[in-house]
Every structure is written in structure tokens, then in C-alpha cells.
Amino acid sequence: MLDNECMVGARDSNGGALLRNFTGMFTSRRKFLRRASFIGASVALSGAAQSCSPLFALNQAGAPAPDYRIEIAEIEWELSPKKKIRTVAYDGQIPGRLLNLTEGKPVTIEIVNHLDREEIVHWHGQWIPVEADGAMEEGSPMTPAGGSTLVQFTPRPAGLHWYHTHAMAGHDLKLGLFTGQSGVLHVAAANDLGSYDQQQFIVLHDWEPYYSASGDGSLMVMYVCGSINGRMLGYDAPIQVRGGQRVLFHILNASATEPHWLSLPGHRFKVLALDGAPVATEASVETLRLGPAERVTALVTMDTPGVFVLGEPRDEFRNAGMGTVVEYAGRSSKPVAPRDVKLQWDYRAFADPKPVVRKPDVIMPLVFTSRFKGHGALDQWMINGKSWPTSEPILLREGLRHRLVFDNRSTDDHPIHLHRHNFELISVRGAALSGVHKDVVIVEAGTIVEADLVANNPGDTLFHCHQQDHMDSGFMALFRYS
């Protein structure tokens, strides 16, 4: 099922890329039909059209026919009628198309790169081989400038994941995750996450980054505006609900660096899964916190009729666009925004009521520190005193339970991510827990988080802070199976 064969013919009357194979996934399809205009439309559109030719060539040569194609190109995107940005995106839209895969069913995806530089797409949260993972540090191939690559893998595990660029940005805030190169990868399981009346995919992103002095004297990245599903608050069609409906929200924070909070006034989120993995306790919370790259799957029962903003409870972020409107049928009024919300989040709320104690085979301390490089420079980051790429690989032994001790001795919070595996949280701030499996965890400044990794997917595995500016400043290491 080649979704965008030929993309030119698959555009709706508004110029948005038509999601022919995925429209059934959205109860509100128009949310994902964005008005996008390619920069140099002739280049991008002709690129899309031409991309049919090499595809046929591939087929004739006996190469597997791709199930999906992802086109990487520059676009001009309308966050709101008053705010247009130029960025790089997948398939001419922000976020990229929803890829809905089936656990255990092999998939082939063609990546077509219309840029004049190499790119690479990472399948975040998937337990797949190095060749497919999409991290050049592990040895995955990059997609050459103006070229294409085929990626094949068998999706697992099920749940809410995502795909995004894994290219370095360095100091250039127009590259890497600062662009719009991200989309939702939803892997369906035989057993669904429960009954619901509709589901909504929510992707957070921050835009127009700039460097600013932080309170601790180091340089940090700030943003002019933010969006949900590629639109600033007030400029997207509302999510339409009916009283009594159960709405399953799949929420992804695709920001390059910024953690976000989300609230829906008068409603609570029953959290079913974190980073795609079902939680031990489906706790209900008023507010969600998502670090960069974290995902939350949560059920909301629509039992408070009205019009609301699902968005950042912090004024400065919501006023900059981070929100979308939820509207009950038959209601029309000024949306009620989340305010005076207690920003409180604890992974332990979703853990086993009584922690299951497991004995590790190996204990691996991982100490996070930084080195000051000037008030006008990014700090250099280190894991166990070494910065990527000069650090030596950290050895794993297949089949063993490794207790990773994330010891954050810096003054920043870090969303720590492990490729091709996930880990189970064992302790946070000294408090034991079990039953929470993640592939990204926020390790708050000056705290220790312990997590167990069972080494069961051989191959080099990248470990890093998911803040783009941190990973580009040395906060990476390679785990290698010995």
C-alpha cells in the first residue's frame, strides 16, 4: 500500500497532503489535512512525481515494494495565518503522516531525501536491528542528499512511538529536531488499550528557536512559539466530542528541547501507557508532563460539557500557541484555558502498588556532568566523564539484567533515551517502583533514577539525552554487546 503514489494526485483541494490510507484513523481527519506549500513547489512536487520512477525501477529489480514512502523536503508551513515558518518536514506536512503499523507484520518504508544534505530517520521506541534503527552512530545508513533508501523492519513493541530525524544540529537551530521532521508511529497490537469512542493524536512542537542566557549562566534554547499538530492555539479546527464519550489521546512531545505540561480543564487523564508501554496502575491525573520524546496514552471521559483548551497550563507557552480547542457538540463559547494547575508529575503514580524487587546482574553507574564553555556557548556534556564521540563503548552482556544508575549531577533535567530497547524504572529520587517501562525518562537535576535494562536485542545501541542541544554537545554513549 504505497500511500503517496504519486503524491501530486493525492492532494486535497486545500493543497494538503491527502492521507488516503490513514483517514480511518482519525475521527477528525481535517486536523491532519494541513495547508502546506512546498518551497520551490516545482522542485518538491516534481520530486514527488519523479519518485514513482525509481520505485518502479526498484520493483523491476526485485527489490521489495515499499509499503510507505516518506519524502523529506523543505516547506513553508502556516502555524497560523500570521505565522509562517520555513522548515524541513516529512511529506509536506507537520507533523508527518501518521504511520499505523501492525505489531509483528514486516514493513518496508522508502525514504526519499530532497535535501542537499544527508538525512536519517529514527524509528523511536522500536526494538529493531541496528541497520534499520536510524542512528548513524550505531551504523545505520544515512539517506544521501537527493537520494533514497529502503528500510525494512518488523514493528515491535506495540504502542505509541514516533519517527524523527536523528541528524545532528550542532549549533544550527534550523537542523535536527528543531525542524518539523517528526511524525507519529503507532503500532497496533492484537489487544487494544481498551474501549474508546474516538482517538486523537496530539503532537507538541516548539518553533523558531533562539539562544538565550539561562539562570545558571549557561546558554539555553528558547522558542518564539509552539504548536499542537502543527497549528498554534486558535488556528486549528476544534476536536469535536460528545458528552459521555471516551476519547483516547495519544500524545507525543516532539520538541527538540522543551518539556511540556498539558491540562484539559474540568477533565482528568486516565493514563494507560507511557512511551507505548502499558502501565501497571492506570492512574488518573489532572496534568500530564512530557519531556522531549516522551509519549503518553491516556483516556479522557468527556463528562464536563463546554469548550476548553487542551494545552499548556503555563501562560507563556499557551499564549505562544501550545494548545488546541476541545469542543462539546452543541456548545460554543470562549474556550476555558487551563490555569492555576498544580504542575505535579510522579512516575510512581503509574507503578505497581507494591514494588516488585528484582536483583540485577550488573550495576552500571552513569554519571551526567557538564563542563562550562562560556556564557555564550553550550555546555559540554559528559557521561562518566567522557563526551561523545571520544567516549569508549559501554559493554552489555546479552541476557543479563543491567541496573542503569542515572546520576544527574548537573543543574538541568535530562530526558534520557535508550535506542532499540526499553527499561523498567526501579527507583526515582530514592523511592522504589516497578511496572513502569519506558524508553525516555526525565532525570531531574541533582537526582538519581535507577532503571533495569535486560540486554535482549544485540547490536550497538545509542544512549543519549534527547535534548538536541545536549546530544550534540557530547551527551551520548554507545552501548555495545560484549
Partner 1 sequence: MLAAAIPLARAQNNYEIQVYGADTVAPRTTMVELHSNFTADGQKNFVGTQYPDNHAEHETIEITQGINDWSEVGFYIFTSERSGQGVQWVGDHLRPRVRIPEKWRWPVGVSLSTEVGYQRARYAPDTWDWEIRPIIDKTSGRWYWAVNPALERAWHGPDVKLGIDFSPSVKVSYDFTKKITGGVEYYADYGSITNIASLHDQQQQIFPAIDLNVSPDWEFNFGVGIGPTAATDHWIIKCIVGRRFQWGKKR
Pairing of strands 96-102, 182-188: parallel
Q: In terms of CB distance, is 317 or 423 closer to partner 1?
A: 317
Least distance CB 222 / partner 1 (angstroms):
7
Q: In terms of CB distance, is 222 or 237 closer to partner 1?
A: 222
Least distance CB 238 / partner 1 (angstroms):
25
Q: How many CB atoms lie within 10 A of CB 32?
A: 24
In angstroms, what CA-CA distances link 63 with 52, 97, 224?
A: 14, 24, 45
Q: How many CB atoms lie within 10 A of CB 284?
A: 14
Cis-peptide, bond into residue 64, ω within 30° of zero: no
Q: In terms of CB distance, is 160 or 221 closer to partner 1?
A: 221
Q: In terms of CB distance, is 211 or 345 closer to partner 1?
A: 211
Least distance CB 326 / partner 1 (angstroms):
22
Q: How is residue 82 annotated by DSSP?
A: T
Least distance CB 345 / partner 1 (angstroms):
17
Q: In terms of CB distance, is 18 or 232 closer to partner 1?
A: 232
Q: How is residue 41 annotated by DSSP?
A: H
469 sits in which H/E element: helix 468-471
In angstroms, what CA-CA distances link 469 with 7, 165, 429?
A: 34, 14, 25
Least distance CB 263 / partner 1 (angstroms):
14
In angstroms, what CA-CA distances link 408 with 13, 329, 439, 461?
A: 51, 47, 17, 21
Best CA proximity match to 7, nearest among 87, 92, 83: 92
Sign of CA dihedral 86, 230, 163, 68: negative
Q: In terms of CB distance, is 43 or 377 closer to partner 1?
A: 377
Least distance CB 173 / partner 1 (angstroms):
9
CA dist 462 and 138 (Å) reads: 6
Best CA proximity match to 476, nearest among 400, 409, 384, 398: 384
Least distance CB 428 / partner 1 (angstroms):
25
Say if residues 472 and 449 touch (Cβ distance below 8 Å): no
Q: In terms of CB distance, is 57 or 377 closer to partner 1?
A: 377
Cis-peptide, bond into residue 157, ω within 30° of zero: yes
Q: In terms of CB distance, is 374 or 399 closer to partner 1?
A: 374
C-alpha cell at 359: 536483583
* Strand, helix or coil for residue 347: helix
CA dist 437 and 458 (Å) reads: 19
Q: In terms of CB distance, is 219 or 283 closer to partner 1?
A: 219
Least distance CB 410 / partner 1 (angstroms):
12
Say if residues 309 and 324 touch (Cβ distance below 8 Å): yes
Q: In terms of CB distance, is 77 or 153 closer to partner 1?
A: 77
Cis-peptide, bond into residue 209, ω within 30° of zero: no
> Which residues make up the interface to partner 1 (CB under 8 A)?
208, 210, 212-213, 215-218, 222, 224, 314-316, 372-377
Least distance CB 385 / partner 1 (angstroms):
18
Least distance CB 37 / partner 1 (angstroms):
23
Best CA proximity match to 177, nearest among 443, 472, 479: 472
Q: In terms of CB distance, is 26 or 211 closer to partner 1?
A: 211
CA dist 227 and 79 (Å) reads: 7
Least distance CB 370 / partner 1 (angstroms):
10
